[in-house]
Each structure stands twice: as structure tokens, then as C-alpha cells.
Amino acid sequence: MRTSAALYALCSILTSGLAAPSDDMRQLRTACVSAANVLNASLNGTMTLNTSMIIQEVVWQIGASTANLNGNSTSPSPEATTNSTNSTLYLDSTYLPYADSLGTLSEACTRRGSIFHQEQNLPVYNTLQSLAIAVHAYGQRLAAAKLISLHSTIRTITAGSDIVNAESFWANNVNYPGRRREPNDE
């Protein structure tokens, strides 16, 4: 838990201003898609890539968004409004694309971890754990603020599961998969 407290403190310091939650979600989606694109592009020959740093940048952005929500905790969100029937209008239209982009990022991490790579597995594994914690904390905070619906909360759980699945591809004790032997190498 000390890691989470340190992450929140760091993100609070890094946050320059309070952004609207929907703007944060759009930026998070863009960050996840960009990270996934870099990881997918690296599958075509770039063996040396700092996967953990790419994922860590997404973790920091999620932490900053959570800090923004925590900073707004004393005042009601201007985005959670009610309509004429007094039912809450949630931010699901911006949250669900963000949650889907986490699945895309997880798939890219899975592909990257399953091929030959020269980076160590442990830093990436630890960063994926941090990502799973940050995603859960952000989703939980949005649900507590009643900014997302139950359906979106389920997508948070699914995104977390995708991240944990990606972790398994980086859980080996060795630094990188062994070199494949060609039939003529004997």
C-alpha cells in the first residue's frame, strides 16, 4: 500500500491543474492507444525497447487522473448531472473507450512478452502490476463519485483481468526467452 500512497502523492505533485473527468478519460485513452501502437510497432524488429517505461507513463497518467478526482472530492462533479426524470447521466460514453483501450494495451504487452526480447521481465511485470492497481483505484474512485455506471464498473474488472493476463507473459524467472535453434545450428 505504500506504493499506492507514493503514487498518489507523486501524481498530486505532477498534476498542474484540475481537469474534467471526461477530458482525463479521453487523454488516458489516447495514452493507452499510443503505448499499444509503439509496442505493436516494435514487434517488427525493434528488440531493445523499454516496455516498462512506456507502461509506466500510462500508470502515471492514470494516477494523475485519480488525483484530480480526489482533488474534486469536496465539490460535486459538474459532469454528473441529472435529467428531467432525476436519473443520473453517467460518463460511460467516455469511460468505455478508455477501458477498451486498456484491453488493446494489454494485448500489445502480451504479444511483446511472448516473442524474443532483450529486456528483463521483472521490471515489466512489476509495472503491469502497478497498472492493474492504478486502473482498479481509478475505476473505484469514479464509481464512488457516481460518475460511471455498474456496466462500466464491470468493464474496469475486465480491463484489470486483461492486464493480469498480460503479466503472465512477463512472469518468467529468466530475463528473456531463449534463442530458437535453427535445424542447421548443430
Instruction: Note whether residue 38 is domain-resident.
Output: yes
Number of compact structural domains in the chain: 1
d(CA 142, CA 91): 9
Task: Give the DSSP per-residue string, the chain.
Answer: -HHHHHHHHHHHHH--SPPPHHHHHHHHHHHHHHHHHHHHHGGGT-----HHHHHHHHHHHHHHHHHHHHHTTTS--SSSEE-TT-PEEPSHHHHHHHHHHHHHHHHHHHHHHHS--SS-HHHHHHHHHHHHHHHHHHHHHHHHTT-S-HHHHHHHHHHHHHHHHHHHTT--SSSSPPPPPPGGG-
Instruction: Note whether residue 1 is domain-resident.
Output: no
pLDDT of 7-52, one tens digit each? 454 454 444 445 688 888 999 999 999 999 999 988 876 666 889 9
Instruction: Note whether residue 10 is domain-resident.
Output: no
pLDDT at residue number 107: 95
Domain range holding 92?
A: 25-42+49-70+88-174
d(CA 34, CA 105): 9
Residues 6+ apart with CB under 8 A from 76: none
Instruction: Note whether residue 161 is domain-resident.
Output: yes
Q: Quote the pTM value.
A: 0.76
136-150 average pLDDT score: 91
pLDDT of 76-135, one tens digit each? 444 554 544 444 557 889 999 999 999 999 999 999 988 877 788 899 999 999 999 999
